[in-house]
Amino acid sequence: MASPSLLRFDPAGAFNPQHGLQAHDLAAFVPALERARHEMLQEDERLYESTILPKEKDPLDHGFFEMPEQLLKEQTEIQAIGKAAEKLKTQVDRVVVLGIGGSYMGAKALLDACRKPYFNELSRDVREGNPRIYFEGNNIDNDASQGLLRLLPSGFKPNAPESGWGIVVISKSGETIETAVAFRQYLAALTAACGGDLAKASQLIIPVTGKTGRLAKLSSEIGCKETFPVPDGVGGRFSILSAVGLVPAALMGINITELLQGAAAMNEHFRTAPPDKNVVLQYVGAAHLLETRRGANIRVLSVWSKALESAGLWYDQLLAESLGKRELGATPLTTVNTRDLHSRAQQHQEGKRDKVFTNVIVDKWSEPHLAVGSSKHDQDELNQIAKKTLPDLMSAAIQGTNEAYAEDSRPTMDLHLPKLDAHSLGQFFQMLMIATVVEGRLLGINPYGQPGVQKYKANMKRILGMK
């Protein structure tokens, strides 16, 4: 069997002398990219094993990088996650994932990208016994939470998983108020659905949390048997390939081994590929130079598949929290095309020249190609393209949009995913996490930690009168 293909990156659309780059710009930038790669692979790795960190490197959540290889080598956690997921699947047909930010965005991205469209609307047989997946604890929206609580079954019936539901709660400390409040409420509802039997309810809950903290303490108190770690040295937005993302992924029926293998393949590529062929370094180099030399400080991730919208939103958080410091860092923006061409294309085509467009293109669609079709009612004049398929139309839209931007010297770049599967998504997530760290090193910004986020949390607690 042939090895899975790697992602492909093509920056050609960013090369134009008036408002973009020239090919020699990237070539001249290679020494800086090599230094940033060396800093991540050598200096960060050495410091990560140290007990004393220089101020500019604290925190150093470098653990995400080698985690895929470590999990694949050890296998213990992968097997435990798989076993726990299979057990819960036999008991319930709905699972509520409680978490916020990096504690849920990766799982939502995996659900949308790797599972069939409208997954929750499909029958249990078509879902191959995998439960419906819902996300809460990512806001404090009263009506949304009430709506989901109303949707969940209120009473379990013996030997009828369709009548049961469970919880995956994800929080390293358990102190994030949105998730903590949601867990309190959904735990009460689950206990009530179990006839008031907390011991029974606790068997339908999988906490993913730190070794210590409020959630770890609560999970132990109520008797949760299956608990998985948020690893030390891995920040929330870099945690998608830990149990934070793997537990929900396993419940969705995604092959988590292939997901990790994709990430490991990207690691190897980043370590060994020369700069002119290195997907990570080429992407970082082009985006960084367009920002610093051309003022393109808005990064538009144009995903040409609805299935990748949540992946784009995951990247928005990754880039914004990692590099949005010291009045630096590009602003990320996800658009879904062709949908958003009808709301944003005017500005993108003729607005300020402060944007670079990265097209994320899926080379092989998952479903059979749907033809336009012939009709005796040809008032829409579509019979002339009756034999064309939706993928044909999408390819024409991508080409046409790139041509329009090129005619006006608007820089574009193309990132190709071989297909929407676990291996490709593992590569995609790992590539963007590595790229974010590399660019942080180029900017002299610590890409880890999010001190700005802590300020709203502290103010919120003060206003609520919490300790």
> pLDDT tens digit string along 328-350?
999 999 999 999 999 999 999 99
Residue boundaries of the structural domains of the chain = 8-58+268-449, 67-254
Residue 455 has pLDDT above 90, yes or no: no
Mean pLDDT of 421-427: 98
Please state, in angstroms and rounded to a whole number, the distance separating the CA atoms of residues 254 and 21: 40
Tell me if 296 sits within 8 A of 411, measured CB to CB.
yes
Please state, in angstroms and rounded to a whole number, the distance separating the CA atoms of residues 127 and 133: 11
- What pLDDT, on the 0 to 100 scale, is given for residue 70? 97
3 confidence band (pLDDT: 50, 70, 90): confident
* Domain 8-58+268-449, CATH homologous superfamily name and number: Glucose-6-phosphate isomerase like protein; domain 1 (3.40.50.10490)
Mean pLDDT of 379-397: 97
Tell me which residue of 443, 85, 61, 78 sits closest to 264, measured CA to CA: 78
Residue 2 has pLDDT above 80, yes or no: no
315: which 2 tokens?
């990247």
Each residue of 271-324: pLDDT tens digit?
A: 999 999 999 999 999 999 999 999 999 999 999 999 999 999 999 999 999 999
DSSP annotation of 41: I
Which CATH number describes the domain made up of 67-254? 3.40.50.10490
Residue spans of beta strands (DSSP E) within 269-308: 298-303
Residue 399 vs residues 13, 130, 390, 412: alpha-carbon distances, Å: 11, 38, 14, 11
Tell me, yes or no, if the pTM score tops 0.85: yes
* 416 catalytic per annotation: no
Each residue of 83-95: pLDDT tens digit?
A: 999 999 999 999 9
Residue of 38, 364, 457, 461 marked catalytic: 457
Each residue of 205-246: pLDDT tens digit?
A: 999 999 999 999 999 999 999 999 999 999 999 999 999 999
Do 8-58+268-449 and 67-254 agree at the fold level?
yes
Q: Average pLDDT, whole number, for the chain? A: 96
* 57 catalytic per annotation: no
- What pLDDT, on the 0 to 100 scale, is given for residue 451? 81
Residue of 342, 376, 377, 467 marked catalytic: 342
Each residue of 149-173: pLDDT tens digit?
A: 999 999 998 889 999 999 999 999 9
Tell me which residue of 186, 119, 176 sits closest to 148, measured CA to CA: 186
CA 210 to chain centre: 21
1 confidence band (pLDDT: 50, 70, 90): low
Q: Percent of the chain scored above 70 by pLDDT?
A: 100
Residue of 178, 309, 321, 439 marked catalytic: 321
* 457 catalytic per annotation: yes
